[in-house]
Amino acid sequence: MLDIHNHLLPLTDNGATHVEETIRMAQRAAAEEVRRIIATPYATHATAEEVQLIVAELNVLLAQRQIPVLVYPGHQVRLTLGLRDAVHQGHVLTLADTAYLLVDCPDDPLPIYTEEIMLGLLEDGYLPILAQPEDNAELLQNPERLIRLMEKGVRCQLATHSILGHHGEEKRLFCQRALQEGWAHFIASNAKKATDRLGLMPAYHQIEQRCGASVVDRLQWNAEQILVSPPIV
């Protein structure tokens, strides 16, 4: 399996605090049958060059330790007015050097410029993924704005622990509706610590029980498409 949202890189943001914790996170991923991870530290905490260097060194270390996990570079980016410029200037990384860009969904109401920035990224050839809209109080109560973004081509990623109900019943019900109605395109762990379960397998199992095997197939196919999508040139 592939996890597209994970903070295992050491000393880059609020994720792993040292290399050995990163190793334990990779071991936990392997134990949960996750063999590929896109590392997504916040772009405000680690530069593109730093992430690429750390990922390259980490993959060597994982191979030396015989941990069957391959890590790809990426960023989680803030939704700001300057986002398009930052992307064009190479200051932020897409997921695994492809067209996909993981955009942080703020907890507060979405900025008034959200649609402008997201549609601009789409026009530029990027494929923005809004990370964990279930954490946004505005969207929980009024998902119509999210639906309009999805209709324009913006993708949506739900957290495994929200799907499983670990973040409260309101978020679980939102995720269930999003999955049933086709708003959700990806699920991911957003793991930050060695003690965090990734939860991909139980989340997929629950989705299959509640929404059907075809939804699981679609989510897993979407995730695989990230790694085979052409890069932006």
- Kindly report, residue by residue over 158-175, the tens digit of the pLDDT: 999 999 999 999 999 999
For residue 230, pLDDT over 70 is answered with no
**pLDDT bracket for residue 12 (50, 70, 90):** confident
For residue 195, pLDDT over 80 is answered with yes
pLDDT in tens, 81-122: 999 999 999 999 999 999 999 999 888 888 999 999 999 999
The structure tokens listed for 175 are: 């995720």
The alpha carbon of 70 is separated from its chain's Cα centroid by a whole number of angstroms, namely 16
C-alpha distances in Å from residue 207, one per residue of 11, 175, 180, 219? 34, 10, 9, 10
Which amino acid belongs to residue 96?
A: A
Which pLDDT score is estimated for 103?
98
The CATH code of domain 2-228 reads 3.20.20.140
What pairing do the DSSP bridges indicate for beta strands 76-77 and 70-72?
unpaired
Which amino acid belongs to residue 131?
A: A
Contact in structure between 23 and 60 (CB atoms under 8 Å):
no
187: β partners: 158
Sign, Cα dihedral of 194, 52, 30, 64: negative
The reply to whether the predicted model has a pTM over 0.85 is yes
**pLDDT bracket for residue 15 (50, 70, 90):** confident
**pLDDT bracket for residue 58 (50, 70, 90):** very high
The whole-angstrom separation of Cα 95 and Cα 112 is: 26
Which amino acid belongs to residue 40?
A: T
Percent of residues, the chain, with pLDDT higher than 90: 88
Q: Could you identify the residue written with the tokens 């995720």?
A: 175
Helix residue ranges, H only, the chain: 19-31, 48-64, 83-88, 114-123, 137-141, 144-152, 160-163, 169-181, 200-211, 213-228
For residue 231, pLDDT over 80 is answered with no
The alpha carbon of 169 is separated from its chain's Cα centroid by a whole number of angstroms, namely 22
For residue 13, pLDDT over 80 is answered with no
pLDDT in tens, 37-53: 999 999 999 999 999 99
Q: Could you identify the residue written with the tokens 């990922």?
A: 55
Which pLDDT score is estimated for 233?
42
The mean pLDDT value of the chain amounts to: 94
pLDDT in tens, 124-151: 999 999 999 999 999 998 899 999 999 9
Q: Which residues, at least 6 apart from 121, have a Cβ–Cβ distance to it below 8 Å?
A: 83, 84, 87, 101, 127, 128
Tell me the domain boundaries of the chain. Answer: 2-228
